[in-house]
Amino acid sequence: SGYVTLDIGYKNTGATKSAITFLDGEVGILKYRGYSIEQLAENSSFIEVAYLLIYGNLPTAEQLQAFEFEISHHTLVHEDMKKFFDGFPSGSHPMGQLSSLIGALAAFNPASLKQGLSAEEVNLEIIKLIAKMSTIVSWIYKKSLGHPVIYPRNKLDYVTNFMYMTFGQRTEDTEIDPVVVSAMNKLLILHADHEQNCSTSTVRIVGSSDANLYASISAGISALWGPLHGGANQAVVEMLQKIKQDGGDVDKWVAKAKDKNDPFRLMGFGHRVYKNFDPRAKIIKKACDDILEKLGINDETLEIAKKLEEVALSDPYFVERKLYPNVDFYSGIIYTALGFPTEMFTVLFALGRLPGWIAQWKEMKANKEPIGRPRQVYVGETNREYTDIKNR
Ligand code: CMC
C-alpha cells in the first residue's frame, strides 16, 4: 500500500550514500576513494588498493606490511574443506565451485556467525576471507587440470603467491615472472570496485539482513556469474574465437549484433552507466599490447577485437546508443596470455572484486542501513475462488 515508484532494473534509484567509488559514466571517470583508476593501475599494488577500499586511505609502509603479514598468516584453508571441494565433479564450472566454497567458509568458521561481532572480530574475518579466496581460486584451477593443489608460500606477496599456487610446480624454486605478476596486479586493481553494480548491490542487500560476511560475498559471486555482468569476460573470448573460426568477418558479426531479431549481442560492449569509453577498457587495451609484446605472444583474437572495436565505434547503431567497449572486452585476452582457461575468467574477476564487495558490506554495516526490501506494483489476478482439483 502507499505510493510506489516503479524503476525496473533500478536505472535511476539510488540505494545508498557511499564514499568508496566515484563514477562519472558520461565522461568516463572512475576513482576509488578519490584516487583516479589510471594512477592506481600505474603505481599501486592490488593489496594496497584493497587496503584503500576497505579502510578508506592509502596505507603507510608499516600499515601495508602489517596487512600483508596478517593476510599471509591465514592463507591455509581447512583440510576438511578439501573433502567438500573434492566432491565436485571434474569439469564443474569454476564459478559454481567458488560461490559454494566461499559460502562453506561460514560453516567452517562458526565464530563468524555470532551476532554483534566486535570491530576486531569483523576485521579478522575480512583478513581470512581475502587470504583464503586466493588459495581457493588456485585450487579450482588445479582441479580443472586434475593436478594436486599447491600449498601457499607465505613469504611471497599476495599476487605472487596466488600465481605460484596457480602455476607453480611443486618445487620450492619455481620463479613467477614479475611481468606476469605486474599484469595480474593491474587487472585485479581495475576490477576491485565499481560502486552499486549487480553483484555489489547483492552483497549489500544480503548483508542488510545481518547474514554473515561469507554468505553475503557468496551471493555476490553468484550475481557476478551472469553473462550480462562478470560472465561477459568469458563470453567475449568465446565470441572472438568463434569469429576467428568463422573466417574473421567482423562486419558480419557487427551486423548480427545490430539485428533485433537476433539475440546475439556484442559481448564486452555497452554499459549501464558508461555512455563513453569505460576508462578501465582503455587501460586494459594498452596493457594487452604491452603484455603480449613482453611475453612474445601473437594472439589473433586481439587483432579481431581491435577491428571489432573500430567497426562498431564508427557504426551509427553503436554511436547513437553510446555503446563502447567495457572492462570485459580486452581482459580475457590478457588472462589467456597469462595461461588461464576461459572458464576461470569470471573467477579472476571475483578475486579482484572481493575488496570492493568487502568495503561496501562494511560501509553498509557502518551506516546501519535498514534491511533492503524493494516494493512492487502488483499486476496479478485480484479475486479468485478456490476450485477443487477435480473441477479444473
Ligand atoms: N550489442 C548490441 N546491442 C546492444 C549491446 C550490445 N552489447 N548493449 C546494448 N545494446 C543495445 C540494446 O539492444 C538496446 O537497444 P534498443 O534501444 O534498440 O532496444 C540499447 O543498446 C540499450 O541497451 P540496454 O540493454 O537497454 O542497456 P542496459 O543498461 O540495460 O544493459 C548491458 C547494459 C551491459 C547489460 C548491455 O550493454 C549488454 O548486454 N552488454 C553485453 C554484455 C556485457 O558486455 N556485459 C558486461 C558489462 S561491464 C562489466 C560488468 O558489469 O561485469
By the 10 Å C-beta count (0-12 exposed, 13-18 middle, 19+ buried), 111 is classed as exposed
Ligand 1: atom nearest CA of 197 is: 51
- Looking at this predicted complex, what is its ipTM? 0.96
Distance 367 CA to ligand 1 centre (A): 32
Convert the pLDDT of each residue in 225-248 to its tens digit. 998 899 899 999 999 999 999 999
Is the CB–ligand 1 distance for residue 325 below 6 Å?
no
Residue nearest ligand 1's atom 39 by CA? 228
Q: What is the tens place of the pLDDT at every residue in 196-226?
A: 999 999 999 999 999 999 999 999 999 999 9
With a 6 Å cutoff on the Cβ, whether 231 touches ligand 1 is no
Q: For ligand 1, say whether the CB of 282 is within 6 Å of any of its atoms.
A: no
Q: Report the catalytic residues.
A: 271, 328
Atom of ligand 1 nearest to the CA of 269: 7
| Domain spans of the chain, in order of start | 30-177+194-226+344-366, 232-338
CATH for the stretch 30-177+194-226+344-366: 1.10.580.10
pLDDT of residue 2: 73
Q: Is the pLDDT of residue 391 over 60?
A: yes
* Closest CA relative to residue 109, chosen from 200, 8, 32, 217: 217
pLDDT value at 183 more than 90: yes
Assigned C-alpha cell, 85: 571441494
CB of 239 sitting under 6 A from ligand 1:
no
* Span 121-152, pLDDT tens digits: 999 999 999 999 999 999 999 999 999 999 99
**SS3 per residue for 132-154:** HHHHHHHHHHHHHHCCCCCCCCC
For every residue of 13-27, DSSP letters joined together read: ------SSEEEETTT
Give the range among 56-65, 163-172, 233-242 with minimum mean pLDDT: 163-172
List of E strands, the chain: 21-24, 29-32, 35-36
Q: How many CB atoms lie within 10 A of CB 155?
A: 8
- The band of 171, judged by pLDDT with boundaries at 50, 70 and 90, is low
**pLDDT tens digits along 22-51:** 999 999 999 999 999 999 999 999 999 999
Q: Fold for domain 232-338?
A: Cytochrome p450-Terp; domain 2 (1.10.230)
Closest to 313 (Cα-Cα) out of 329, 301, 300, 298: 329
Ligand 1 site-directed mutation target among 326, 330, 351, most atoms within 8 Å of CB: 326
Distance 329 CA to ligand 1 centre (A): 13
